[in-house]
Amino acid sequence: MKPNLLDLFIGLNEAQLTAVTADPSRPIQIVAGPGTGKTRVLTSRVAFLILEKKIPPSKIIVTTFTKKAANEMVERLTAMLSPFEVPVSELFIGTFHSICIRLLRRYHGKCGLRPDFGVADETDTKSVMKHTCPDLGEKERAKARGYISKLKAQGITPDAYRAIPRHSAEIASVYTMYDSYLESHGLLDFDDILLYGLRLARDNGKCLDFVRHVLVDEFQDTNKVQLDLLFALGDRSTKFQHNVTVVGDPDQSIYGFRSADPASFRSMAKRYENLHQVNLNTNYRSTASILNVSEAIMGHQTAKRTSKSLRSICSVKIPVVHSKHRTNNDEARWISDQISMLKAMPHLFEYSDVAILLRSRFLSRVVEQELMKKKIPYHLVQGQAFWDLKVVRSMLDYLRVVSSDLDVLAFSRTINFPARKVGAVSLEKLLSQFQSSVGFNNVGVSDMLIGVIEGTGIKLGSGVVSGLKEYLSLIQQCREDISVAENPLDGVLAAFDRIARTTDLANCVREEKSKRSKRELRDDELPENDLEELRNQIREFEPAEEILEDLKTETEQSFLDSFLESIHFYSAEKEEAQTKVTISTIHAAKGLEWPIVFVPGLTMGVFPNYNAFKADEDEEFTVPKGDENAIDEEVRCFYVAATRSQRLLMLSSFERRAIDSETSLEVSPLLKGLGKMEPKLDTLDLGIRKLLYEAMTKKFQSVSDEERQLLEAIGGAAIVGSGITTALYAPMNAPREVSGLSGRFKRKFEGQEGQRNL
Ligand code: ATP
Ligand code: MG
- Which residue's CA is the nearest one to ligand 1's atom 31? 284
Task: Give the CA distances from residue 136 to residues 46, 108, 132, 141, 336, in Å, rounded to whole numbers and listed in that order.
Answer: 49, 34, 10, 6, 43
Q: Which of 30, 39, 357 to mutate to test the pocket of ligand 1 (most atoms within 8 A of CB)?
A: 39
Give one DSSP letter per residue of 429-454, joined into a string: HHHHHHHHHHHHH---HHHHHHHHHT
Known binding residue 132? Answer is no
Of the given ranges (143-152, 163-172, 379-388), which has the lowest mean pLDDT?
A: 379-388
Q: Rounded to an integer, what distance in angstroms lies between the CA atom of residue 634 and that of residue 360?
A: 12
Q: What is the pLDDT of residue 2?
A: 61
Long-range contact pairs involving 672-677 (C-beta distance under 8 Å, separation at least 24)? 672/300, 672/620, 673/296, 673/299, 673/300, 674/293, 674/296, 674/297, 674/320, 674/322, 675/292, 675/293, 675/296, 676/319, 677/293, 677/319, 677/320, 677/321, 677/322, 677/651
Chain segment 32-79, per-residue pLDDT in tens = 999 999 999 999 999 999 999 999 999 999 999 887 788 889 999 998
Task: Please tell me whether 39 is known to bind a ligand.
Answer: yes
Which sequence spans correspond to the domains of the chain? 5-106+194-280, 122-185, 289-359+367-378+578-679, 387-570, 685-749
| Topology annotation, domain 387-570 | PCRA; domain 4 (1.10.486)
Q: Is the CB of 573 within 6 Å of ligand 1?
A: no
Q: Please, are residues 178 and 81 in contact by the beta-carbon 8 Å criterion? A: no
CA distance 644 to 287: 11
What's the CA-to-centroid distance between 39 and ligand 1, angstroms? 7
| Closest atom of ligand 1 to CA, residue 592 | 3
Whether 12 lines ligand 1, by a CB cut-off of 6 Å, is yes
Q: Is 35 marked as a binding-site residue?
A: yes
State the pTM of this model.
0.72
Relative to beta strand 311-314, strand 118-120 is unpaired
Q: What residues contact residue 188 under an 8 Å CB cut-off, 6+ apart?
A: 104, 113, 117, 118, 119, 120, 182, 196
Was 373 annotated as part of a binding site?
A: no
Task: Tell me: is residue 38 an annotated ligand-binding position.
Answer: yes
Instruction: For residue 741, give the H/E element and its range.
Output: helix 735-749
Per the CB < 8 A criterion, the answer to whether 214 and 61 are in contact is: yes
Question: What pLDDT, on the 0 to 100 scale, is given for residue 756?
Answer: 24
Q: Which of 148-152, 209-213, 520-524 has the lowest mean pLDDT?
A: 520-524
Tell me which residue of 174, 197, 177 sits closest to 185, measured CA to CA: 177
For residue 375, say whether it is annotated as part of any ligand binding site. Answer: no
Q: What is the distance between the alpha carbons of residues 406 and 117, in angstroms, rounded to a whole number?
A: 9
| Three-class SS state of 596 | strand
Nearest to 586 by CA among 595, 575, 576, 597: 597
Quick check: CB of 249 below 6 Å from ligand 1? Answer: yes
pLDDT tens column, 491-532:
999 999 999 999 999 998 888 877 766 556 554 467 887 788
Nearest ligand 1 atom to alpha carbon 32: 6
**Is the minimum distance from the CB of 24 to ligand 1 under 6 angstroms?**
no
Cα 43 to ligand 2 centroid, rounded to whole Å: 10
**Residue 733, Cβ neighbours under 10 Å: how many?**
13
119 pLDDT tier (thresholds 50, 70, 90): confident
Asked whether this chain's domains 289-359+367-378+578-679 and 387-570 adopt the same fold, the reply is: no
Q: Note whether 5 and 51 are within 8 A (CB).
A: yes
User: Which H/E stretch holds residue 634?
Assistant: helix 628-642
> Candidates 3.40.1190.20, 3.40.50.720, 3.40.50.300, 3.30.465.10; correct CATH number of 5-106+194-280?
3.40.50.300
Neighbours of ion ligand 2 (CB under 5 A): 38-39, 591
255 burial via Cβ count (<10 Å: 0-12, 13-18, 19+): buried
Instruction: Round the CA-based radius of gyration of the chain to a whole number and report it.
Output: 28
Share of the chain above pLDDT 70, in %: 77
- Spacing, Cα 297 to ligand 1 middle (Å): 21
ipTM of this predicted complex? Answer: 0.99
pLDDT band per the 50, 70, 90 thresholds, residue 287: confident
Q: How far is the CA of 30 from the centre of ligand 1 (A)?
A: 13
Atom of ligand 1 nearest to the CA of 734: 29
CA of 41 to the centre of ligand 1 (A): 8
Best-predicted range by mean pLDDT among 424-433, 520-529, 536-545? 424-433
Write the CATH number of the domain with boundaries 289-359+367-378+578-679.
3.40.50.300
- 238 to 27, 110, 232: CA distances (angstroms): 14, 21, 12
Alpha helices in 133-262 (DSSP H): 138-153, 158-163, 169-184, 190-203, 224-236
Q: 478-500 b/e with 16+ CB inside 10 Å = b?
A: bbebbeebeeebebbbbbbebbb
* Residue range 608-623, pLDDT digits in tens: 876 555 433 333 333 3
Q: Is 34 annotated as a binding residue?
A: yes
Atom of ligand 1 nearest to the CA of 36: 6
Atom 19 of ligand 1: nearest residue by CA position: 37
